[in-house]
């Protein structure tokens, strides 16, 4: 198996990318994120809300997975998960997290690192109620990332959980919202001449500082 040949059949960063005028970049990275996200949606980026969430356990062992952004506000980025999942256990013991968005169609990447807060029970319950029944059932089962004996076992537990959802719309169990409060945010804009633009924001006592990074 020669995977290198397959890799070089599809060269990276070879698209028609938008301009990024760094002199016009807002002073707040959350505003910049909102602008870039809107551009990604308008440009037809596939699943722009999907990103890699990286966490580490109490011993510092990392793990990563694709999740979806649920919301954002002036303080940070909001995601949801089962508190008994690997990421939930990680965030219970290690409050540091990182997010990575990659939008291939426009050659843009956003890296976010910061502390993660856990929402209160009322916020978790309200968000759980808004979810569709299948998502609620999976949350109630609360076995994410455990060893599964067979697909029949999954079907049986799903059926029981769906019955419970139908009888109790507020059974939120382990569903939990998390807010990533950024300390650093980097915006990467690819260029075909490889002089890629990297603009980093870093939180300071007075707000945010921004500076360029070497590509």
Would you tell me how many other CB atoms lie within 10 Å of the CB of residue 160? 13
- Phi/psi for 124 (5° steps) reads -65, -45
**What is the phi/psi pair of residue 9, to 5°?**
-70, -20
Q: Which residue ranges are tagged as binding site?
A: 86-87, 109, 144-145, 198
**Fold adopted by 12-120+174-212:** Pnp Oxidase; Chain A (2.30.110)
What is the pLDDT confidence band of residue 26, given thresholds at 50, 70 and 90? Answer: very high
pLDDT averaged over every residue in the chain? 91
Mean pLDDT of 125-147: 79
Tens-place pLDDT, residues 40-83: 999 999 999 999 999 999 999 999 999 999 999 999 999 999 88
Q: What is the DSSP string of 65-118?
A: EEEE--EE-SS-EEEEEETTSHHHHHHHH--EEEEEEEEGGGTEEEEEEEEEEE
Annotated binding-site residues for FMN read 86-87, 109, 144-145, 198
What's the pLDDT at 164? 81
For the chain, which residues make up each domain, given as ranges?
A: 12-120+174-212
Q: Which residues pair with 109 in a beta bridge?
A: 102, 188
Residue 117 has, within 13 A of its CA and on its CB side, a CA count of: 11
Q: Which of 22-31, 135-144, 191-200, 204-213 has the lowest average pLDDT?
A: 135-144
Cα 112 to Cα 110: distance, rounded to the nearest angstrom? 7
C-beta of residue 32 within 8 angstroms of C-beta of residue 110: no
Average confidence (pLDDT) over 199-205: 97
Runs of H (alpha helix) within the chain: 3-9, 29-42, 86-93, 121-130, 133-141, 151-167
Q: For 167-181, write each residue's pLDDT tens digit.
A: 776 666 788 999 999
């Amino acid at each position: 198996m020669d995977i290198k040949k397959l890799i070089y059949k599809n060269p990276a960063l070879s698209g028609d990318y938008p301009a990024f005028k760094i002199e016009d970049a807002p002073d707040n990275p959350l505003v910049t994120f909102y602008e870039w996200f809107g551009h990604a949606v308008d440009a037809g980026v596939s699943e722009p809300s999907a990103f890699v969430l990286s966490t580490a356990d109490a011993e510092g062992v990392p793990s990563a997975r694709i999740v979806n952004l649920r919301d954002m506000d002036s303080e940070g980025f909001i995601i949801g998960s089962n508190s008994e999942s690997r990421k939930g256990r990680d965030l219970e013991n290690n409050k540091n997290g990182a997010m990575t968005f990659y939008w291939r169609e426009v050659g843009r990447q956003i890296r976010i690192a910061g502390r993660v807060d856990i929402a209160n029970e009322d916020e978790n319950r309200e968000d759980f109620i808004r979810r569709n029944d299948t998502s609620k059932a999976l949350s109630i089962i609360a076995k994410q990332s455990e060893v599964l004996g067979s697909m029949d076992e999954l079907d049986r537990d799903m059926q029981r959980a769906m019955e419970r959802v139908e009888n109790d719309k507020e059974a939120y169990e382990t569903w939990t919202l998390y807010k990533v409060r950024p300390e650093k945010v980097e915006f990467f804009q690819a260029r075909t001449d490889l002089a890629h633009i990297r603009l980093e924001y870093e939180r300071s006592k007075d707000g945010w500082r921004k500076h360029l990074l070497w590509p």
